[in-house]
């Protein structure tokens, strides 16, 4: 449903699909933690804006996957979820849509770099806890993302 309502770039659709696969492996609806894992997966690719933002932080694919695996036993599994996205997952995408409109104007497509600020608006809760476990914070990651957004990626 969300993909039909909001315009997403191909890269953002890739992130959403990877998040869906991550959630399916955990037998859960797509939540903010799956979106973060998908952004970390995208950040593993050299030359991407997400790589630029996540370089130097502990938000790396292997670290995120390990924390999610450790937490998996704590979560109740759901059988064949009808809702593909959890309420928090949908809220993060709505915040990303708002971020796209604020930065790029009304009707702008949602890019992967809009998904990260959408996740980081949740200062308390699952993303804040996950980032703390990874050795960083919402504030630190937000500051890094904003610095990259204003200066642009560094050339390598």
- Tell me which residue of 30, 21, 33 sits closest to 84, measured CA to CA: 30
pLDDT attached to residue 14:
92
pLDDT attached to residue 15:
92
pLDDT band, very low/low/confident/very high, at 133 (cuts 50, 70, 90):
confident
Q: Could you give the C-alpha distances from 41 to 33, 60, 78, 104, in angstroms and in order?
A: 12, 8, 25, 25
pLDDT attached to residue 153:
54
What is the CATH topology of the domain spanning 2-150?
Answer: Double Clp-N motif (1.10.1780)
Res. 150: pLDDT tops 90 = no
Neighbours of 143 (CB within 10 A): 12
pLDDT attached to residue 101:
92
Res. 108: pLDDT tops 50 = yes
Which tens digits make up the pLDDT trace of 110-129? Answer: 998 888 888 887 766 788 78
Res. 80: pLDDT tops 60 = no
Q: What is the pTM of this model?
A: 0.78
pLDDT attached to residue 10:
92
Which tens digits make up the pLDDT trace of 13-47? Answer: 999 999 999 888 878 889 888 898 898 888 887 77
Six token digits for residue 10 = 């191909």
Q: How far apart are CA 50 and CA 35, in angstroms?
A: 13
pLDDT attached to residue 155:
46
When comparing pLDDT for 84 and 77, which is higher? Answer: 84
């Amino acid at each position: 449903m969300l993909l039909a309502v909001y315009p997403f770039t191909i890269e953002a659709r890739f992130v959403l699909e990877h998040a869906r696969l991550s959630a399916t492996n955990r037998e859960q609806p797509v939540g903010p933690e799956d979106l973060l894992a998908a952004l970390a997966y995208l950040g593993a690719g050299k030359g991407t804006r997400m790589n630029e933002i996540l370089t130097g932080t502990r938000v790396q694919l292997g670290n995120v996957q390990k924390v999610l695996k450790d937490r998996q036993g704590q979560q109740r599994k759901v059988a064949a979820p009808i809702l593909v996205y959890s309420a928090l997952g949908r809220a993060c995408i709505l915040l990303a849509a708002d971020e796209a409109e604020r930065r790029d104007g009304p009707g702008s497509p949602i890019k992967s770099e809009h998904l990260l600020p959408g996740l980081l608006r949740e200062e308390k809760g699952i993303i804040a806890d996950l980032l703390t476990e990874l050795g960083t914070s919402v504030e630190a990651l937000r500051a890094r993302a904003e610095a990259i957004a204003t200066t642009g990626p560094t050339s390598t």
